Amino acid sequence: MSNDHRNSPPLFQEVFFSDTRMKGVGMVSQQQQQEYRLQELGDFLRTRRARLTPEDVGLPRGSRRKTPGLRRAEVAQLVGVSVDWYTWLEQGRSITPSTQVLERLVQTLRLDANERNHLFLLAQQQAPPALAPETEIVSPALQHFLDQFGTRPAFVSGRRWDILAWNDAGCAIFGDYRRMTTPRERNTIWGIFTNPLSRQFIVDWEEDARQLLAQFRSSCGRYPGDAQLTELIHDLMLASPEFRAWWPDHEVRSGQEGRKTLNHPQVGHLLFERLTFQVFDTPDLKLTVYTPLEGTDTLRKVEQLLAQWYQKEGQGPHPSQAIHQLPQTRRSGQDAVELWLADCGKRVEGAWVANSDIMISYVNWCEAHGYEPKKAKGLAQSLAAHGLEVGVRQWVYTGPGIRTKTRGVRGLRVQDGSQTPKTSGDELS
């Protein structure tokens, strides 16, 4: 072999010598990927550790501190592992932490939902266990998106196939969801199997029902042990002979797209292209859109039905109502944190607000809007999931010349907060 490459430019030399080592690449590539993943895990943990202070986690600062953020020994103490073991984890040693240890790291390092998912993927090469499902809610932005479809019926459904939000065309074609005040009335699977009118409304009812059932069965696999899903399936077994006969077949199918033909009692046949999207930020939610099929008179009929619906309502186009706007006795506050932050919160770099003021503002907002507020710990977890620093201690004056350290949230200001604490300032920690 010629040695002329020794006088070649550096780039050529790099390519040449890389090529001579390619024989072993197949054997070591998996090992290299493993080393890279573990190194990424160590780097990730170090950066999360560096952004916290001892005060953030309730530890004394001490003296002669040179380490930015927490020390490894402090993280190990809070997580409940040895300093050596945690050091090996940050150094990229080939160890696999348990799910319990990773969850304690999530709490200790104040990781939000995205960071938690990233940690599990690096450490275990799989997504973390699903958190307890929260109450489903449709954001104002998603509702506005629904309204833009105009003459295309569209709606958002949740993990149990309840219709949570809709547009005017959806009401004009499928029924006025605003007047359906119980979840079962708005449940797609319940309606198709128990409402006799669905057999007249849906052309090829059996084919459509079997298809939806297979998709429903597939989605149920994501939520094992969900009490409300279990109850729904039990009630369907009692109420529908077809559901009772087909459910044991265990047919599964993904995706909800294709043509759908409806036989509307006022205008006859309507032909649509049906397409369903998953909402990226809230994957439990699905958005389904019915587009009138080109080359048919469906669009004209939809416009006619929509005009009749507006005339009946005595008004023109208006923003549709989502489920959280319907009359309910007491709505869960699990997802109300986002709405409260939008109404009363403002992110301000360097700002700090006491936990007591946060609780007062949040509870007052929930009372005004009919939500059941979360407890302090649950609220803190939701704020952390929104990327806010919780449990940050700061000196607060409680009287003339009297001050005390209390916990709060960094980077946030809230409206309607009282200056007189009604709850302990440490409750959110």
User: What's the CA gap between 111 and 121, in Å, rounded?
Assistant: 14
Is the predicted pLDDT of residue 216 greater than 60, yes or no?
Answer: yes
Q: Which of 191, 187, 265, 169 is nearest to 229 (CA)?
A: 187
Is the predicted pLDDT of residue 429 greater than 90, yes or no?
Answer: no
β 371-372/331-332 pair status: parallel
Q: Which of 294, 253, 302 is nearest to 273 (CA)?
A: 294
Provide the whole-model pTM: 0.54
Is the predicted pLDDT of residue 348 greater than 50, yes or no?
Answer: yes
Split at pLDDT 50, 70, 90, the class of 233 is: very high
Split at pLDDT 50, 70, 90, the class of 10 is: very low
- Please, are residues 295 and 334 in contact by the beta-carbon 8 Å criterion? no
- For position 37, what pLDDT does the model report? 87
User: What tokens appear for 264 in the block?
Assistant: 């509307």
355 Cβ contact list (under 8 Å, min separation 6): 376, 380, 406, 407, 408, 409, 423, 424, 425, 426, 427, 428, 429
- For position 245, what pLDDT does the model report? 96
User: What tokens appear for 269 in the block?
Assistant: 């046949």
Exposed/middle/buried for residue 330 (C-beta within 10 Å: 0-12, 13-18, 19+): exposed
User: What's the CA gap between 164 and 135, in Å, rounded?
Assistant: 11
pLDDT in tens, 71-108: 899 899 999 899 999 999 999 888 888 988 998 899 88
Least confident piece of the model among 233-242, 248-257, 296-305: 248-257
98 Cβ contact list (under 8 Å, min separation 6): none
Least confident piece of the model among 60-69, 77-86, 153-162: 60-69
Phi/psi for 404 (5° steps) reads -145, 155
Is the predicted pLDDT of residue 316 greater than 90, yes or no?
Answer: no
Query: CA-CA distances (angstroms) from residue 134 to 92, 353, 403?
Result: 35, 26, 38
Give ∠ CA 61-63-65 in degrees, rounded to 5.
Answer: 75
- For position 318, what pLDDT does the model report? 53
User: What's the CA gap between 209 and 201, in Å, rounded?
Assistant: 12
Residue bearing tokens 């007591």: 356
Altogether, the residues listed in the chain come to a count of 429
> What does the DSSP assignment read for 356-376?
HHHHHHHHHHHHHHTEEPPPH
User: What's the CA gap between 367 and 359, in Å, rounded?
Assistant: 12
State CA 317 to chain mean position distance.
Answer: 30
Least confident piece of the model among 46-60, 78-92, 177-191, 320-334: 320-334
Split at pLDDT 50, 70, 90, the class of 222 is: confident
Exposed/middle/buried for residue 125 (C-beta within 10 Å: 0-12, 13-18, 19+): exposed
- Please, are residues 105 and 44 in contact by the beta-carbon 8 Å criterion? no
Q: Each residue of 377-387: b (16+ CB within 10 Å) or e?
A: eebbbbbbbbe
Q: Which of 325, 290, 323, 330 is nearest to 306 (CA)?
A: 290
- For position 337, what pLDDT does the model report? 80
The rounded percent of the chain whose pLDDT value lies above 70 is: 81
State CA 390 to chain mean position distance.
Answer: 20
Is the predicted pLDDT of residue 19 greater than 50, yes or no?
Answer: no
Q: Work out the mean pLDDT of the chain and round it to a whole number.
A: 80
State CA 343 to chain mean position distance.
Answer: 20
- Please, are residues 135 and 334 in contact by the beta-carbon 8 Å criterion? yes
